[in-house]
Amino acid sequence: MPLTKEEIEEIRRTLGREPNQVELAMFEAQWSEHCSYKSSKKHLRKLSMESPWVVKGGDAAVVDFGPVYVAFRIESHNHPSAVDPYNGAATGVGGIVRDILSSGAKPIALLDDLIFGDLREYKVKWHVRGVVKGISDYGNRIGVPTVGGETWFDPSFTNNPMVSVACVGVCPKNKLINGTPKPGHLIVIAGNYTGKDGLLGSSFASKSLEEGVEEEYAAIQVPDPVMEKLLIDSILELRDKDLLVFVKDLGGGGLATAISETAASFGLGAEVELDKLHLREPMEAWQIIVSESQERMMLVIEKEKLPEVARVLEKYDVPYSVIGRFTNTREIVVKFNGEIVARVPADFLAEGPELDRPYKRPEWHLELEKPFEIPPFDLEKAIRSVLGSPNVASKRWIYEQYDHEVQIRTVIKPGEGDAAVLRLLEAPPLGIAVATDSNPRYTYLDPLYGAANVFLEAYRNVVASGGKPMAAVDQIDAGNPELPDRFWFFVRMVEGLAWVERQVNVPIVGGKVSFYNEDEVTGTQIKPTVMITMIGKVEDVTKAKRAMAEEGDKLVIVGETYPELGGSEFLWTVFGKVQGKVPIPRPKLEMETARKVLSVVGLEGVTGIHDIGPGGLVVAAAEMGKGIGVRLTVENVPGKWSQPYEALFSESGARYLIAVKEDAVEEVLEKTDGKVIGEFGGNTLEINLGKRSVTIDDFEELLERGFEKWLG
């Protein structure tokens, strides 16, 4: 039982009696870390969740884009994806889509952020193929394009991958579902039949995985994308007809969570009759109340509108049940076959405990700060290793399995730019730039600066595509919060995000926390991670920029390079080291550099823009030069570096590459304070080192096929 002795005693005191089986199941689900945030909410309050352009929170964050609202959210499905990669990832997609739908927004795009283990391991190949297939099948079948993402590989994730999916939606300003449930309003459950799949899935997600997890399959939901598509269409029609007061996805915690959180949020109670719910199989009351069967949503409606709601749901063949109503009692009363099987205060159940857990930096972590003394190495071999590493090489094998063209919104597609750019068909020529980023090495070495760096990488991705960053959501993954040396990483990551979001005036408006990411096989903590999804406004999608160049373009760099190799792809790929101090985040410099870059986005002579991220300058230049080649002169790179490898592999932030036509170079340099460091053409990657040069003839093959060679 995830409920502690102290929690059970608190339940006894509040109820004034011994809780029964149904009530214990409700508390176990709702008071899990997954639903109650009992270890994290104290620290999450440090984040700035508000801004003049933020409209509402809830299941999805909603941002004012002028003519329309944009909703977005990210959430993980880590434990289910470790046990059953296909179904775990697929149901993760379904859940995040319903979160967007609950605000009244039409889901228009998906992004994934995936971290897997050592690709030489068979188990990891199984994870990769199953997760990608699950995301692909579900997204393709519901008609929501997967337009971007991030994929990392690190040995610590071999037994337990991190699988997060983000979704973006658009809602007309007069159709936002944000009404106030009142006493007498009906509780309607629409969607799939409830079954025993997903039983206490939130509890399963709130403990460490162990070897021999076959018994956990019952906690994994079964996906049904056909029903999801019917739900999308029916909810949007109900929205357009103003038939909905409030909508909530039945995700973690099932009915127990959805009803109690809604009631508590509005100072209400509820009366629920479980035997009225449409079931897939015979079930006990405790199973019904906490089942997390997928493709189900709770609709709150006015009683007199039930016939109209029923007609719409029946039109789409969406099963539904009226299982109860909200009351003014502030108490959740659950009946089954005419008997009361649970009676609990709504606020008490919904809010759960708030823990003040101790945290302390582990002593062994201090050793990681020491710089790695780089021994002599072959520069050409190092460049080839970095370009072909699974973290750097193209993920074409992944994104080609996704339909990114459906809904005809995708302007910049996977593999073309730093962020996906979507046209707002409802408000042309406006568009949305959206990117998702993570870096488990950074957040492991320095959770505060690492989290800030991940945030700023997403910031640069949005800017490089021509977007003005507006808001972000986070997915924070950490180890066992009961252990101070694990919990320290979580606290520091939150503090890093709270600092950087205020510095650049881009609020974090929502997110999710995943704890207990431990490798029980090896007895070690999985590297703690932050996944950031950021959206930005593109004023004119016809001027959005790809990370591409054309023959004869000049290569301009904006920003200075520092000798910052701690946690770099270079150290890991060439020397197998995760060590040193990560790049220093410079948020004010990021803002100034972004302003300069955005000032030239609309220039006709600017072909493409690319930020410099993992792998450093050599990777960014090679990616822009695919298909045409690029010549790079290292001594022209501005900054405080001293060795050529520092200029090539440093991962300093606030840097961009711009491909510029010769007749526009002078204007670009004037507006950006940039510097010409090369040109595109020649069909090879040629690096001029002064007295010698390095030429990589097959650089494009390394980038394009490196990942597939690892996958096998």
385 annotated as belonging to a binding site for a ligand: no
Q: Does 260 show up as a binding residue in the annotation?
A: no
Q: Is 517 annotated for ligand binding?
A: no
Q: In what order do the strands lie in the sheet with 269-273?
A: 246-249, 296-301, 186-191, 320-327, 269-273, 331-336, 339-345
For residue 543, the tally of other CB atoms under 10 A from its CB is 15
650 is in an annotated binding site: no
Residue 77 labelled as part of a binding site: yes
Spatial separation of the C-alpha atoms in residues 377 and 456, rounded to whole Å: 31
Q: Is 76 annotated as a binding residue?
A: yes
Sheet holding 420-423, edge to edge: 410-412, 420-423, 431-437, 529-538, 468-477, 508-514
Residue of 43, 77, 127, 404 with catalytic role: 77
In our burial notation (b when 16+ CB lie closer than 10 A, e otherwise), range 104-141 reads bbbbbbbbbbbbbbbbeeeebbebbebbbebbbbbbbb
Q: Is 78 annotated as a binding residue?
A: yes
293 assigned to a ligand binding site: yes
Alpha helices (H) along 328-421: 346-351, 379-388, 396-399
Identify whether the C-beta of residue 421 lies closer than 8 Å to the C-beta of residue 544: yes
Residue 485 assigned ligand-binding role:
no
Tell me 486's DSSP state: H
SS3 435: strand
Contact 243, 305 (CB under 8 A): yes
User: In one letter, which amino acid is 366?
Assistant: L
569 neighbors 706 (Cβ within 8 angstroms): no
Which 3 state secondary structure label does DSSP give 161? coil
Burial of 393 (0-12, 13-18, 19+ CB in 10 A): buried
Concerning whether 404 is annotated as a catalytic residue, the answer is no
Known catalytic membership, residue 77 = yes
Of 241, 252, 123, 129, the closest CA to residue 198 belongs to 252
| 37 labeled binding residue | yes
**Could you tell me which of 502, 562, 557, 496 has the C-alpha nearest to residue 528?**
496
- 503 labelled as ligand-binding? no
Any known ligand binding at 611?
Answer: no
Residue 602 three-state SS: coil
In angstroms, rounded to a whole number, what is the distance separating the alpha carbons of residues 507 and 485? 28
Cα dihedral across residues 375, 379, 382, 387: positive or negative: positive
Find residue 209's DSSP bridge partners: none
Catalytic residue among 34, 43, 127, 610: 34
Residue 697 assigned ligand-binding role: no
Q: Which two tokens stand for residue 474?
A: 């986070």
For the record, the structure tokens of 58 come out as 């809830």
The annotation places the binding site for substrate at 76-79, 98, 221, 292-294, 514
The annotation places the binding site for Mg(2+) at 75, 99, 249
Active-site annotation, residues? 34, 77
The annotation places the binding site for ATP at 37, 73, 474, 511
The annotation places the binding site at 37, 73, 75-79, 98-99, 221, 249, 292-294, 474, 511, 514
